[in-house]
A and B are shown apart, each in its own frame.
Chain A
């Protein structure tokens, strides 16, 4: 498809385990964004990439969170030593370039038991 895709769609993990979430942006989009959406809440900005670099990491909730993007395309968001409060929907979006309209993926629903 032509849209943003994310995998897995759902992830259940035990507290303390590491998880890796993947985002495939729209082809040709140079900017990629990660958001977190807790139950019934708005979207919390986590990090964005322009190309392979991430100029602003200030939105990451803790040092257990990291993200990388290689080849200017796929990005992974890694959460180490997951905690129950990490349970949320993690949304990825991409745009043609920074500050242009963002298009969202369907999200990964993470549940930490």
Chain B
């Protein structure tokens, strides 16, 4: 099925820095979602995007649904230690099931 390319695979940043990660697909997606997974837990939804060009914020998080409908990015501003975790993008092709990226592992150094 359609797979998502998520990058970077991992990031090591200093507390207070901004972070950006993105996902791309070879096919069009109708929905883009961003999840965060803490160790030993299931993914938790951060932001959902349903319309091309849509830019949505959730606190220090901002995500955009690319105009081409083949990409999305997630930005985290002014990172804090509790931002540590794995961030997954997920997309939904036409009338199809959800596909997930491989994840971006974020480490924040105090």
Q: Is the CB of B43 within 8 A of A43?
A: yes
User: A103: which of B1, B45, B100 is its contact (CB, 8 Å)?
Assistant: B45
Interface size class of B (residues with CB under 8 A): 20 to 34
Q: Is the CB of A48 within 8 A of B100?
A: no
Q: Is the CB of B102 within 8 A of A101?
A: no
Measured CB to CB, the closest approach of chain B to A31, in angstroms, equals: 10
Which chain B residues border A43 with CB–CB below 8 Å?
Answer: 43, 88, 90, 100
Complex: A91 Cα to B101 Cα, angstroms: 15
Which chain B residues border A105 with CB–CB below 8 Å?
Answer: 42
Which chain B residues border A97 with CB–CB below 8 Å?
Answer: none
Measured CB to CB, the closest approach of chain A to B37, in angstroms, equals: 8
| In the complex, A56 has a CB within 8 A of chain B | yes
Contact string, A80-102, partner B, CB cutoff 8 A, digits 1/0?
00000000000101000001011
Q: Is the CB of A33 within 8 A of B98?
A: yes
Contact string, B40-55, partner A, CB cutoff 8 A, digits 1/0?
1111110010000000
Q: How many A residues, CB 8 Å from partner?
A: 21
Query: Which of B31, B41, B97, B103 has the most CB atoms of chain A within a 10 A radius of its CB?
Result: B97
Q: Is the CB of A106 within 8 A of B102?
A: no
Which chain A residues border B45 with CB–CB below 8 Å?
Answer: 101-103
Contact surface of B with A, Cβ cutoff 8 Å: 1, 4, 6, 31, 33, 35, 40-45, 48, 88, 90, 92, 95, 97-103
Would you mind naming 18 contact pairs between A and B with Cβ atoms under 8 Å apart?
A4-B42, A33-B97, A33-B98, A42-B4, A42-B88, A42-B100, A43-B43, A43-B88, A44-B100, A45-B1, A45-B97, A45-B98, A56-B97, A59-B97, A91-B42, A99-B31, A101-B45, A104-B44
The 6 tightest CB contacts between A and B, nearest first, are: A104-B42, A43-B100, A42-B102, A42-B100, A104-B43, A106-B42
Contact surface of A with B, Cβ cutoff 8 Å: 4, 33, 35, 41-45, 48, 56, 59, 91, 93, 99, 101-107
